[in-house]
Amino acid sequence: MAVPPDATIDRKTVAAVIPAYLEEKHIADVVRRTLEQLDNVLVIDDGSTDATATIARNAGAEVIVHPQNGGKGESIKTGLRHWLDRNFIFVVVLDGDGQHLPEEIARFLAAASSARAELLIGTRMKDVRGMPLLRRLVNRYMSDKISRLCGQAIPDTQCGFRMVHRCLIPDLLGGAERFDYETEMLILASRKGCRIESVPITTIYSDEVSSIHPVRDTIRFFKLIRRYKKLEA
């Protein structure tokens, strides 16, 4: 289902989901800056043992707390499910560690208005000077694999900064629980016949500590690829 040509895509018709785990250091700044772009901001505290939830709430966000850590995928699904029954056209997902610039949400709104895509995903591959070499190589390798599986070019499949149309959300509430969910989201959208549009964003690496386990999550990635390839056979 394409975006209606007369749809108004702005701060009132787009809501934000910020999955967060142990992000008390960054979450207030991310929430405040996101609220400068959108009227409705939801933080999913995925079982943090620090003050993430309290700080996010004090910064102005609506907050849902998972009683225990369920993984980033489960956090995103909780957020998507929360906004599904409300009158929003799109939901923006961005990280709570400051790796994504909330100010660049405006790029997604503009792209959604012009491209009429159901799923928009950030791409850092236009300027990779700030990206560590190993991460750049792995990203390109994985993006090539996923693009082939999806049948459309997605230059940065590992980017968590994305925007989802409400018509697609019901199809995204199952699947993986952790970081592999972000990859599976692209596959599910493509198999539904949705167009995926890439939006250039800034590459930022500061003091955030990645929650991705290099061995365990790589194994999950290849299992995911193998499962969908078997379905094609």
Residue with token string 């999950």: 220
Indicate whether 34 belongs to any domain: yes
Which pLDDT value is given to residue 110?
96
The one-letter amino acid at 183:
T
Task: To the nearest 10°, report the CA torsion of 80, 110, 35, 81.
Answer: -10
Instruction: Find out whether 56 and 63 touch, Cβ atoms under 8 Å.
Output: yes
pLDDT of residue 1: 47
Tokens of 43: 């933080």
Let me know if residue 2 belongs to a domain: no
The CA-based dihedral angle spanning residues 98, 103, 107, 113, taken in that order and rounded to the nearest 10 degrees: 120
Give the global pTM.
0.88
CATH number for the domain that contains residue 58: 3.90.550.10
Residue 9 lies in a domain: no
Domain of residue 20, residue span: 14-232
Q: Residue 163 falls within a domain, yes or no?
A: yes
Q: What is residue 60's three-state secondary structure?
A: coil
Identify which has the larger pLDDT, 68 or 209: 68
Residue 6 belongs to a domain: no
Angle at 133 between CA 130 and CA 137, to 5 degrees: 120
**Is residue 7 in a domain?**
no
Q: What percent of the chain has pLDDT over 90?
A: 68
Specify the range with the lowest mean pLDDT, choosing from 16-20, 24-28, 115-119, 170-174. Answer: 115-119
Q: How many domains does the chain have?
A: 1
Res 199 pLDDT > 50: yes
